Chains A and B, each alone.
Chain A
Amino acid sequence: MLPAVLSGFAAALVASWLHRLERETAGWIIALLPAGLFLYFSGFIEIIAAGDTVAVSYAWVPTMGINLSFYADGLSLLFVLLISGIGTLVLIYSGGYLKGHPQLGRFYSFILIFMASMLGLVLADNAITLFVFWELTSLSSYLLIGFDHKREGARFAALQALLVTALGGLALLAGLLLLGQAGGSLELSVLLSRGELVRAHPLYTPILFLILAGAFTKSAQFPFHFWLPNAMEAPTPVSAYLHSATMVKAGVYLLARLHPILGGTDIWMYVVTGVGAATMLVGACLALRQTDLKRILAYSTVSALGILTLFLGLGTPAAIKAAVVFLLGHALYKGALFLVAGAVDHETGARDVDRLGGLRQAMPITAAAGGLAALSMAGLPPLFGFIGKEMLYEAAYGSLGAALPLTSAVVLASMIFVAVAGMTGFGPFTGKKTSTPKHPHEAVMSLWLGPMLLGLSGLLLGLLPASVGNSLLSPAIEAVSGQAGDLELTLWHGLNPTIALSAVTLAGGAGIYAGREALRRAASRLQMTSWWGPARWYSLLLDGLNVLARGQTRLLQSGYLRYYLLIIIATALGLAGPKLASLGGPPGLVSWQEVRFYEWSLAALILLAALVAIRSRSRLGAVAALGVVGYGVALVYVLFGAPDLAMTQFMVETLTVILFVLVFYHLPRFARLSSGLVRARDALVAVTAGALITTIILFSSNVQFHPKISGYFAEHSLPLAHGRNIVNVILVDFRGLDTLGEITVLAVAAVGVYALLKLRLREEKSK
């Protein structure tokens, strides 16, 4: 399974190159990969329908319970087939849609990276693996929304989507880690059987809210829904693939996946159902206000995601069945409608529903595909959307306690779905022919193949629902509900209340469709959401963050070395001083008689040199005096038996003097610029810093914190590390990783110094 998951990343590496080689057919060739994956994973259907699961695991950081492990059950498989199946069609479609685009090769790479990440996400067993792929989908979505990176709108939307979903991703990571602690494992397959344990855990509420934050931001739930319509800046194949069929369903997937672990509590039901219902209604109402084909579809997608969340929140067997069936139906018709919208846009140059009409003669095949998808979205028999909608009604109707408000809300959303289906799947093709920027004619095959196949599969599944019911949907439902159940999908349910509701929905939807312009005018007069809506909060927060960042940068990053030193020393004093003071005065010194005369003279020499360095009126003199201080300190090391340290100190002092001398050449003449007050302040800081270090040394020489450490090194240096020089053995062996980090920092610093010097040189030259 691992090669199948990772194949997309490998293909992304060669996609750009393949596109350069085969401009015309690259899309078809690359589509072979997801098609192959679709076939490969189709082979799992039988195994999983029989009640088995497929799992692989590779150790990653086994000591921390992190594994690269994958696990396919009914739920994963449903998503995997959607991802690879729709991925195939979208790749073919992209080849036609972005034909001649200079960056088409890059586009293929991004789409493949996304597909592989999405596969990894829905197949992941380990929570950390899931998180990594989760973030990869956010990243690839960022690249794809901002694909047309020269437009500011695209960049803004890409960043917005990334910030919202990545923020949720961080919450998700925290939630998953806590979940791992509460459940005692990071493997989801293990956690699935420990739901009781997790739900009774004192951390259950924070875990739930953190994970919901991740799921809700990803799946554009209210109040985070605003990024999804803006993401329509992406090329249409991306909107169809990421922002309706797959990625935005990742949050829904997570809810479904964790339902057996976290679900079933009151708090789960109220929060998830409430947020889902709000999203469903907000999305549906906002959809009516739009005239842009893609934005209408985007808001209706928000609404559909709300429906899925709502029903997963309810958590009754009927609700879960309905959610899973609706999920499949929605992916098929919404993907198709997006692709149809893209084809219309591609052929006519217009996306405004008011300016489109009568295209059925010019684009008969696209019109047929759009019609099929619209019928499914409107929930008309014999399409698959009808079955999904009927099941939603049944579940809402049968929910205890809140049947009436819930059913009416779902019916209202479905009515708007009927109107949206009319606006996007029928409107552009029927009625009077309008004039469009481009002369319309039928799209090329790559553009109609995808929507046509999706539309036809909606019809086929509607006619033969049992074909997927038992083999694919039933195992998925079992995975979500955590218990075996039977699923009987039939087109005809008999004369029951849901049929009556369907009729009401159609009539109401037709009414909304007829009065859509009046509704839109009324809605646009209520322009309230623009100033108190969540999108406004997003921009306020972002601006606030920028102001904060700029302010603290101005405060801390003065650009003057002296202020940096001042801040560092003052911070060290502020942090360590009070602690030292609380310990009482420094411990008594060793007896003065033990200090030898040459140690006295060395100390005197160091002090004298320091005074000379301060008082000197020549730079060279000051640096030479500083060098004397350094050599004096090195001599102290020699006297007290630290030859390694002394040698290094000698070398560092020598090179420092050389560096200073080289720098002096560029400095202006020495002058005293600071006032007496400033010098007094600096003197105070310097003296207190010296006093602090002295006190720390006095304390530390008296306190033996861990006597074992040096003993351990002395004992094991030779037998374990084959070295007698403990200092060196620590540097290159016991603490080698630290040294590796240090030399990396050194290298980075050198690159920085080099860049600064060379850039200045070049500037001077250009002047």
Chain B
Amino acid sequence: MTSLILSTTTRFLLPLLLMFSIFLLLRGHNEPGGGFVGGLLAAAAFALHAIAYSVGATRRLLIIDPRALIGAGLLIAVASGAAPLAAGLPFMTGQWWSPEVPALGKLQIGTPLLFDTGVYLVVLGVTLTIILSLAEE
């Protein structure tokens, strides 16, 4: 079942949805959003692609196996928690840097954002693993 309208729309929607999911991830600390909902949105975007084209096409687009995303996400989350250990602080103590970036102003970057990125990747990987495996059968 291929629909020209759906596949053409998807071509424009997918990058938009993915950008929006990253936007949600980044703004999450201050505005509604976060890694969990961002990961779900990204997964939905890829699911849309799989429906519009085929699971094989989505896997080719992804390049990385979604299962690897789960592992990577968990590693990032644990690493963000372990980072403060190097400074002699307890596990998962938030660490913040405020670099001055031209055109963007003063940024707030911290280990919680890294942790949220891990959540994003795990959620994306888990959802895609399940959806793609089911769709492949």
Determine the distance from Cα of A644 to Cα of B47 in the docked complex, in whole angstroms: 22
Which of the candidate stretches A66-74, A216-224, A728-736 sits at the interface with the other chain?
Answer: A728-736
Q: Are B122 and A746 in contact (CB under 8 A)?
A: yes
Q: Are B122 and A652 in contact (CB under 8 A)?
A: no
Residue-wise, chain A 450-487 has the 8 Å CB interface mask toward B (1 for contact) of 00000000000000000000000000000000000000
Identify A659's interface contact among B37, B125, B131, CB under 8 A: B131
Identify B92's interface contact among A659, A729, A737, CB under 8 A: A737
Q: Are B137 and A757 in contact (CB under 8 A)?
A: yes
- Chain B residues, CB < 8 A from A727: 32, 34
Which secondary structure characterizes the binding site on chain B?
helix
Q: Are A648 and B94 in contact (CB under 8 A)?
A: no
Determine the distance from Cα of A644 to Cα of B34 in the docked complex, in whole angstroms: 8
A500 within 8 A of B: no
Of chain B, the residue at the smallest CB distance from A652 is B40
Of chain B, the residue at the smallest CB distance from A720 is B94
A744 within 8 A of B: yes
Within 8 A of B (CB), among A648-693: 648, 651-652, 654-655, 658-659, 662-663, 665-666
Of chain A, the residue at the smallest CB distance from B122 is A743
Q: Are A659 and B122 in contact (CB under 8 A)?
A: no
A700 within 8 A of B: no
Tally of A interface residues using CB under 8 Å: 43
A722 within 8 A of B: yes
- Chain A residues, CB < 8 A from B77: 739-740, 743
- Chain A residues, CB < 8 A from B73: 743, 747
Which secondary structure characterizes the binding site on chain A?
helix
- Chain A residues, CB < 8 A from B14: none
Q: Are A732 and B70 in contact (CB under 8 A)?
A: no
B96 within 8 A of A: yes
- Chain B residues, CB < 8 A from A728: 28-29, 33-34, 116
| B45 CB, nearest partner CB in chain A, Å | 11
Q: Are A651 and B130 in contact (CB under 8 A)?
A: no
Determine the distance from Cα of A217 to Cα of B28 in the docked complex, in whole angstroms: 56
Q: Which of A654, A659, A728 has the most CB of B within 10 A?
A: A728
- Chain A residues, CB < 8 A from B33: 644, 647, 725, 728
Residue-wise, chain B 51-86 has the 8 Å CB interface mask toward A (1 for contact) of 100000000000000010011011001100100000
| B107 CB, nearest partner CB in chain A, Å | 11
Identify A651's interface contact among B41, B81, B108, CB under 8 A: B41
B133 within 8 A of A: yes
Identify B29's interface contact among A729, A736, A737, A744, CB under 8 A: A729
Instruction: Return 13 A-B CB contacts under 8 Å, by A number.
Output: A644-B34, A651-B41, A725-B30, A727-B32, A728-B34, A728-B116, A732-B35, A736-B115, A746-B122, A746-B126, A747-B70, A747-B73, A751-B67
Question: Which residue numbers of B lie inside 8 Å of A, CB to CB?
Answer: 24, 28-37, 40-41, 43-44, 47, 51, 67, 70-71, 73-74, 77-78, 81, 91-92, 94, 96, 108, 110, 112-113, 115-116, 118-119, 122-123, 125-127, 129-131, 133-135, 137
Question: Which residue numbers of A lie inside 8 Å of B, CB to CB?
Answer: 643-644, 647-648, 651-652, 654-655, 658-659, 662-663, 665-666, 720-725, 727-729, 731-733, 736-737, 739-740, 743-744, 746-747, 749-751, 753-754, 757-758, 760-761
